[in-house]
Structure 1
């Protein structure tokens, strides 16, 4: 790769737009950060706010359980499949245009969901929403890469991560308030003013970022191979808990994904303008950053999935109360991300990443010691450590991936970062969910008998087992003594906590492996990226 990359990037030219006072506004780094933060806030908020609305959507639209599952799964699947291609679109056509299209499309599909009258339309629009969300995220990172000098990029990504943390934290609280006091449709309508704000700021503030020597054509065979491979991988992971990991369908989807990934890699070595130049992975830090993001997402998102069930079903909290109890974790992410950006700027990413994953390991192990009677103070301690540990990893791994890529591949690098997170989170949720389900199935009969309860009828055993995997105590017939009701709830909750403890214990081992991998990371070598020869 030529060392003239920095000169070829149009982001390095002075911005043309100025204010009446003569100060530049178009391309202004901090205003660019504000603009992209508004855009990605929609995507981050949507990730948690919709989960609160799903039960009401199911009841209002008479949706089957399998259909309501696809309100979430369809969105995540589209997001994961399209992220890298979306990054390439930004590299080719400019990250500003890509960001604006993503913001408008995300807001428009949100409006369509709010006006939908059936569950099929909701699912279809959620898939489109995922596609537009995929355009937003890599473009945001590409715009930040072009607007900030290398020495300030870490701080910018840290603040950007803090916005994502704040939006994620606000999701359950805002969603609970809107569903309870307005309607489930309002959960989607809230994206309309946010999208319009992102559009207005983007037209005014953003300066286009692209490289003059970016690829001028699209690797259509590569896009098809990668998209189908990602679909097979994520779909197989999503369905594995339902089908079984040894089921023929699961093996076909996951095995097919591996075969398609190999074919994709072989094609990338032959293509004239490949979608993902294989030379990109000659950068050991970048490759380590991608794998680190997978392991981090596996442990964090996979394990944290169970916390909302623990708070709501075991401790009896409302969705809003559960969101408030998660504030120690998300609050530390909001505070810790900018601080981590400053620390990474001074120390480099390696020390903060390794320290962060070690703290996360301790927090995961601490979460594995919780029981059904654990108090708020103990939970808050582990939540604080979780947020404190994850912050430098989210910021550092993002900087390692994006900062070690050439400027003309910054969108692809952003797509890699987000894809790694989606795949890791999906894999963690599925694998840890399967381990938890097996543990609950194993210990529930003993806990039930130990509570002095009569044996469960075979016809009811499966329903009780599935409810216990979510921490839901079975309804007791009218007139059942309170002591028996409490014993039933105790047996179910203890079984759920046993499964959750196993999931967090495994997550702590994965987190420690990520800490070891973090030793291979380092910051980008130049402002335009490392000398990666393609």
Structure 2
């Protein structure tokens, strides 16, 4: 029988946060497991094996915004629970995969599930909390991504060394099962107030194709190079497809993305900041792991444990920074956070040498950067969606996560290019300069954020109400 759920919004946050934790954990844990996967399928070329990582990256980028829009239209609870099932089953198939081909197909399914789960999760959180408590909730939700991503190397090394690479996928199963049954019990349904046609199929094809081609070009830079014809061709094709996507969205009544969202200064500047910051974050994350392993001689497990204080600090500070954002707004926290984040790069540039000194050099840097992360990532996630109409929570959340994912992909490619060019201390100086530059950009862009919320008034203006949901 249909019923409306009135569970505590904090339980909603737990139910949705569990699976999001697994999604972002899976993103980094596979980098550690990849050498073991390569050893198992030793008859497959490195180019073929790279698609275990690349297929996920491309499919995730391509499907985020269409999936977020679909969640707004057909129901966020329905989308989230279906995505949890797909992601969990695909994780099991990845762990059981007898061949690389099966593993790549399962990774594609995993990416589609993750792409639907993430925006639906944030949309459910947004619709469940009052405006006063929303910054705190989004800060905690945003910190889960940073914590799980940073925990990936240490947890991945521990799992792979003790249980084997297949368990890097199997650990998603209990998380998915708990999230599904808890979510089925407590999550309220929510969708557009005025239901219309499903999102325009051609818009979906153009956007998914454009983002997929762009992501493919970025991940292939390690092979092609940054000045290659291949990269230039993919960028041009992606630009054409995305331009056609925007033109299509202006021409149809049921676009994947309502272009009026771009009228919001918060939406524009927060997403631009998220893109730039994600480049710096991934450069810091991957660059410091490579620095500790290649220059200081740490094992992967030691390097993973070395960065562990960072996510712990972020989690400890996330609720407090959310309360500050609720009181003073995201703008002052982001202005300060960008400077704090950049300071961690300056510290490493001036203090780090080829002689290992974790306590005296790296630990202060990881503590400074963690404070910067706590001030930046949750606030950007919140600022990007805080003045959007409830009808667009799913698609707005998806855009924020798509820009974050694209920035992360670009940051990884830039870091690999910098380190591969000259695997010495000087190459890591370049990655730390990327960190500093991203912090300065966040501060400058945050100045452009409005001081007060300006709720967008998009037709239809009636706010959606939670609708009865059946099991």
1:531 aligned residue: 457
Match runs of 1:116-515 below 5 Å: 116-369=97-350, 370-377=352-359, 378-438=361-421, 440=422, 469=423, 496-515=424-443
Structure 1 position 79 matched with structure 2 position 60: yes
1:51 aligned residue: 31
Give a deviation string over 1:312-332, Cα, whole Å, max 9, x none: 232222222111100122222
Closer, same or farther: CA 428–533 of 1 in aligned 2, 3 Å: farther
- TM-superposed CA distance for 1:215, in Å, is 4.0
CA contact (8 A) 1:365 1:504 kept: yes
Structure 2 segments unaligned to the other structure (5+ residues): 461-471
Aligned CA RMSD, in angstroms, stands at: 1.8
2:449 aligned residue: 521
Look at both structures and tell me which one has the larger radius of gyration over its CA atoms: 1
The secondary structure found in structure 2 opposite 1:373 is: coil
Q: In 1, Cα distance between the equivalents of 2:244 and 2:439?
A: 31
Q: How many residues align?
A: 455
Structure 1 segments unaligned to the other structure (5+ residues): 1-14, 18-23, 441-468, 470-495
User: Please, what TM-score do these two structures have when normalized by structure 2?
Assistant: 0.93
- TM-superposed CA distance for 1:59, in Å, is 0.3
User: Please, what TM-score do these two structures have when normalized by structure 1?
Assistant: 0.82
Closer, same or farther: CA 523–138 of 1 in aligned 2, 3 Å: farther
CA contact (8 A) 1:404 1:524 kept: no
- TM-superposed CA distance for 1:128, in Å, is 1.2
Q: In 1, Cα distance between the equivalents of 2:377 and 2:393?
A: 17
Closer, same or farther: CA 281–215 of 1 in aligned 2, 3 Å: farther
The secondary structure found in structure 2 opposite 1:41 is: helix
Give a deviation string over 1:106-140, Cα, whole Å, max 9, x none: 11001101111111211221111111000110001
Give a deviation string over 1:430-453, Cα, whole Å, max 9, x none: 234334444x1xxxxxxxxxxxxx
Q: In 1, Cα distance between the equivalents of 2:223 and 2:435?
A: 21
Give a deviation string over 1:325-351, Cα, whole Å, max 9, x none: 001222222122222111111110000
Runs of 4+ in 1 over 4 A off after TM superposition: none
Closer, same or farther: CA 182–523 of 1 in aligned 2, 3 Å: farther
Higher RCO structure (Cα 8 Å, ≥6 apart):
2
1:36 aligned residue: 16
- TM-superposed CA distance for 1:374, in Å, is 4.1
CA contact (8 A) 2:265 2:450 kept: no
- TM-superposed CA distance for 1:217, in Å, is 2.1
